[in-house]
Amino acid sequence: MSPDVRLDLVSWLSRIVLLFACLSHAFYIPGYSIRSYQDNDNIPLLVNKVYSDKSQLQYAYFDLPFVCPPTGQKHHGSSHASGHSIPLNLGEVLRGDRIKTSDIEVDMGQDVDCQYLCDRVVSRTDMEWAKELIKEEYVTEWILDNLPGATSFVTVDRSRKYYAAGFKMGYKDFDLATGKPKYFYYNHYTLVVRWRPAPGTAGDKGAKVIVGFEVYPKSISAGHRNETGCPRDVTGDQEPLALYMPSNTSSLREQFPDSSYVPEEEIDTSDNATLTIPYTYSVYFREDKEVEWASRWDLYFSDQADSKFTHWLAIVNSLIISGILGAVCVVIWGRTMQGDIKGRGDGVLEEARLRIGKRSDKKKSTNGLLEKLTDAGPDEELSSDEEPLEEITGWKLLHGDVFRPPPYGGLLAPLIGSGMQLVFVVVGLLSLSCAGVINPSWRGGFWSVGIGLFVVAGTFSGYFSGRVYKTFGGQNWRKNTMMTALLFPGLVFSLVFVLNLFCWAQASSTALPFTTLMGLACLWLLIQLPLVHLGSYWGYYRSSAWEHPTRTNAIPRQIPAQAWYAKHQIGLILGAGLASFAVLFIELIFVFKSLYLDKSSYYYVFGFLSIISALLSVTIAETVIITTYIQLCAENYQWWWQSFFVGGSSGFWIFVYSVWYYATRLHIDGFVSSLLFFSYTTLACAVYSLATGTIGFLTAYMFVRRIYSDVKVD
């Protein structure tokens, strides 16, 4: 290669590297790319939604009739006017986010003691809605530099600070004269933006990064304001803004002369009374060198950091349960299975079959056996070939029926395929979360990646469903493919659509837009369905059926009367599921707390959850081996469905725990919120049971295949 060509090649490579370097600075990747600001740079403040721990309904911030509506004006240095909708990913839409730019102006390094925002005139109906939201303890979510506005707390010993995402809309107090509740609304917001110099050379040039965003709301009445609309003294004690409108009825004023409170049942909401709510805000920038930009989210996880001991306790608890069940499996495998096979020889069942054939031969009478017994001396014993047939009992007698296709195998195969699809999704989500790819700074990333993995995993679903269906002897593979592609996703989509109607009726942002529903339907029918078809074709036509070590008899063996512990299979299944639930129980407390009891916190101890999930899979495998062995020893060869139900039975106990949690820990009010809670809880338990049931089925199949692999019957 000539020197000129080398120089041209190096030049082009350097240009390509420079281009990628420029592109990397042009795009912001949440959680990884650092965004820095110079003094006076505008920092967009975004408003999202309001939500509560006592309700499953969320509302977009600008849909509330008592907040300042967007004016449509642009801030200096901003490319979007207020009220502009920020593009959202699929996960953000699913979690009810509705992010828009606001009129609050925040410039790096510029403190604002007080800035007037607007006067909002509300009707009595709107005021009653505000009171209801305060009563339900709704909190507001604002976003600055991808950080949610936080309420700051300090530990009892004042040694450490931690955050709770969001801030309350108001508070409830009681009238001392009447003892009735009164509601006060927060209408002044003090924003504290904590920053530090940007790392590297950018910090030497004056660039700054944001490491904290705190919001301190305050209720200030409409009186005692200056010409700018701001209170004369923002920091001092002010009379709070009460959500109260005097009634126009003179009889009510005569009935309650000394009280500013009027009972709700006496209020006439049809009158034209109004209430003016003035809005103001303050902005302060404070330097904080103790928090690094890379660890700025740690303040939101401080409560989980304090619970590390409990997480380790959950792991120890899981290890103990898994170890006990593992010891039982070792006894079953080491002493019973291997002992029976090695002690009697590989051809024991063949010998038994031959002796049965000899005894059934019409030409041979019982006189031969009596002759032998007569000729034998008193000290002689029968040879090993002439052992009593009664010793061959239990699981060894099922070699001709143990691999008989189960009833309704055409339904079990699609369920196994969908279960493998969910297992792939769970493993992918836990792996990406532990690696830090999915993190809270990527808002909606968990749901977006989960749906993407679910669609791509349609290939695995079709492959396993087709191969299991072929193993069961199925002939109509196209029907099996359509059931795999439409059964589980169709049920989920139908449930979500019906629940969405209730959310639409409540004007909640929890309701998915119609375009989002159509997008999900397109992902399902236009992408996942062809992938399932491709995987099913490969599993049915391009792959052979799973070969069984023994041949299945033409006539099914009659199942004898079962013992008490095997007769009631529902009790056996639920008992086995209780062991698996005990492994998951402690970690489940933290998951439920983040989902329902404290939505302002983020569950992000996926490392512990991954360990618990691995131990859960091992425990499910052990319980399935034990219950399958019990069933085979009872000469019951219908183990296919039982192994699936045993693996997924812990989902029943999770649902029972959810009902207990709803009744004792949650304070959810309203029919729609309760309907959403139980519907989505049932769906989550069904998804869990489908994945764990598939693990149980595959474990049982490998176990049965292994114990009969040394038994060859022609």
Residue 362 has pLDDT above 50, yes or no: no
Structure tokens at 221: 């009445």
Question: Residue range 528-551: average pLDDT?
Answer: 92
Q: What is the pLDDT of residues 561-575, one digit of tens each?
A: 777 666 678 888 999
Residues 6+ apart with CB under 8 A from 401: 552, 553, 556, 557, 637
Q: What is the pLDDT of residues 234-244, one digit of tens each?
A: 888 889 999 98
- Would strands 45-51 and 170-174 be described as parallel, antiparallel, or unpaired? unpaired
Percent of the chain with pLDDT over 90: 57
Taking each helix axis from N to C end, the angle separating 671-707 and 606-633, rounded to the nearest 10 degrees, works out to 60
Q: What is the pLDDT of residues 409-466, one digit of tens each?
A: 999 999 999 999 999 999 999 999 998 889 888 999 999 999 999 999 999 999 999 9
pLDDT at residue number 441: 87
Structure tokens at 233: 């003294």
pLDDT at residue number 368: 46
Q: Which amino acid is at 261?
A: Y
- pLDDT-based confidence at residue 583 (cuts at 50, 70, 90): very high
Question: Residue range 123-144: average pLDDT?
Answer: 95
CA-CA distances (angstroms) from residue 119 to 69, 278, 592? 10, 4, 40
pLDDT at residue number 377: 43
Least confident range from 164-168, 330-334, 707-711: namely 707-711
Residue 205 has pLDDT above 70, yes or no: yes
Q: What is the pLDDT of residues 301-343, one digit of tens each?
A: 866 556 788 888 889 999 999 999 999 999 888 766 655 544 4
Q: What is the pLDDT of residues 370-404, one digit of tens each?
A: 344 344 444 444 344 444 444 455 677 888 889 99
Top pLDDT among 83 and 22 is at: 83
Answer for the pair 141, 163: CB distance below 8 angstroms, yes or no.
no
pLDDT at residue number 193: 97
pLDDT at residue number 565: 66
Least confident range from 102-111, 192-201, 292-301: namely 292-301
Please tell me the total number of residues recorded for the chain in this structure: 714
Residue 18 has pLDDT above 50, yes or no: no
- pLDDT-based confidence at residue 517 (cuts at 50, 70, 90): very high
Question: Residue range 492-519: average pLDDT?
Answer: 95
pLDDT at residue number 507: 92
Residue 147 has pLDDT above 90, yes or no: yes
Q: Pick from 115, 89, 111, 85: which is nearest to 98 by CA?
A: 85
Percent of the chain with pLDDT over 70: 82
Question: Residue range 10-14: average pLDDT?
Answer: 42
Top pLDDT among 142 and 365 is at: 142
Residue 24 has pLDDT above 80, yes or no: no
Question: Residue range 264-270: average pLDDT?
Answer: 51
pLDDT at residue number 527: 95
Residues 6+ apart with CB under 8 A from 384: none
Question: Residue range 234-260: average pLDDT?
Answer: 69
Q: Distance between CA 92 and CA 100 in Å, rounded?
A: 13
pLDDT at residue number 12: 40
Please name the helix (run of DSSP H) or strand (run of DSSP E) that holds residue 491, with its range, or none. Answer: helix 477-505
pLDDT at residue number 201: 87
Q: Distance between CA 326 and CA 623 in Å, rounded?
A: 9
pLDDT at residue number 566: 67
What pTM value is reported for the model? 0.84
Place of tokens 């609304």: 185
Residues 6+ apart with CB under 8 A from 219: 170, 171, 184, 185, 186, 187, 188, 238, 240, 241
Mean pLDDT (the chain) is: 83
Q: Distance between CA 130 and CA 694 in Å, rounded?
A: 48
Question: Residue range 646-655: average pLDDT?
Answer: 96
Q: Distance between CA 611 and CA 617 in Å, rounded?
A: 10
